[in-house]
Amino acid sequence: MKNLRNCTLPELETLMKELGEPKFRAKQVYEWIWKQSAGSIDDMTNLSKSLREKLAQDYYIPKVKIHHSQYSSDGTIKNRLQLHDTHFVESVLIPTEKRMTACVSSQVGCSLSCKFCATGYLPRKRNMDYDEIVDEVTLLNGQAEKHYGKHLSNIVFMGMGEPLLNYANVMKAIERITSPDGLGMSPRRITVSTAGVAKMIKKLGDDGVKFKLALSLHAANDKKRNEIMPINETNDLKSLIEALNYFYDKTGNEITFEYILFRNFNDSEKDADELVKIYRQVPADLVNIIEYNPIELAAFEKPEDDKVMAFMNYLESKKVNARLRRSRGKDIDAACGQLANVDHIPATPTAP
């Protein structure tokens, strides 16, 4: 059986010819797939029963389903999504006064093993296919309409997995999401976050992407970053700075740094000063300072409020455009770094 969504419009036109159907049927099938998000061939009610039966002999639509949802007191909704092969991923709908944001996953598990992230303790089972990522976004858009009467305004690839290690599927998904015959969302409202894969950041530049890029920095020297993000051992800060500048030179797109504060690890004035130095080497628009959200498997702690404010004040004194980002959905483990299929997490905590 073949995935019908892997057929381009010209391929569908060829298929209709082979089945003895008029050419316009191809466009009808294409619109059912991408505009109306058909869950099965049987849903395509303006096709004859005989055509649907012929298609169903060789093709299927592997739809993603919401397995269950959790609702936070702040309005955030976390979803456990079931893929066609029974794997699970998690995604989050984050409503605010001005935005309706979908935080989406791109892999089942993750191979990068970041020490502060729940997903990092999961094995990477596989990449998500591009149409599964599109389904994920479509489901969250439907949820936004149902619960808040609004369409999605923003998408962030900050869920489970490293997007740049699933490059082809993520790029194809964004192409469908931004296409006029898809969701028609502006690429400027999409942010792809990476733990730092220098080679692929440069490829984004070469490919002339239109979306925003965020680097999960979290430590501004190689020694500390190696401790919490093993990827830094092969993608050090020098190579990332070079890659980010290359990306900006090629695209002019917005770059953001993400920096989680960990108590007595990266929250001192010296750490802040090192962050300032990194910031000045890259044309970054913003530094998001993120409060740490505890997970059972890591021994990190959130800094005291006065330490956080001292850190922010130091950045402000050095003219760094920094924002303190308060996490949403903490009461349902939907905040930054907390996404995981808990049944599969090992039980040994990792100290900083």
Identify whether the C-beta of residue 218 lies closer than 8 Å to the C-beta of residue 176: no
| Token couple for 240 | 């990332």
Q: Which helix (H) or strand (E) holds 191?
A: strand 190-194
Query: Out of 110, 114, 117, 336, which one is annotated catalytic?
Result: 336
Task: Tell me which residue of 115, 260, 99 sits closest to 191, measured CA to CA.
Answer: 99
Where does the chain have alpha helices with state H?
9-18, 24-34, 49-58, 130-148, 167-178, 198-206, 222-228, 237-251, 269-279, 305-317
CB count in 10 Å sphere of residue 299: 13
| Token couple for 161 | 């997995």
* Cα three-residue angle 293-318-96, rounded to 5 degrees: 40
Distance CA 136, CA 65 (A): 8
Report helix, strand and coil shares of the chain as percent, to nearest 5. 40, 20, 40
Query: Out of 13, 21, 90, 132, which one is annotated catalytic?
Result: 90
> Which class for 231: exposed (0-12), middle (13-18), buried (19 or more C-beta within 10 A)?
buried
Q: Is residue 110 among the annotated active site residues?
A: no
CB count in 10 Å sphere of residue 258: 20
Identify whether the C-beta of residue 157 lies closer than 8 Å to the C-beta of residue 171: no
Strands 212-216 and 190-194, by their bridges, are parallel
Q: Classify residue 302 by its DSSP letter.
A: P
Distance CA 90, CA 80 (A): 5
Q: Which residues are catalytic?
A: 90, 336
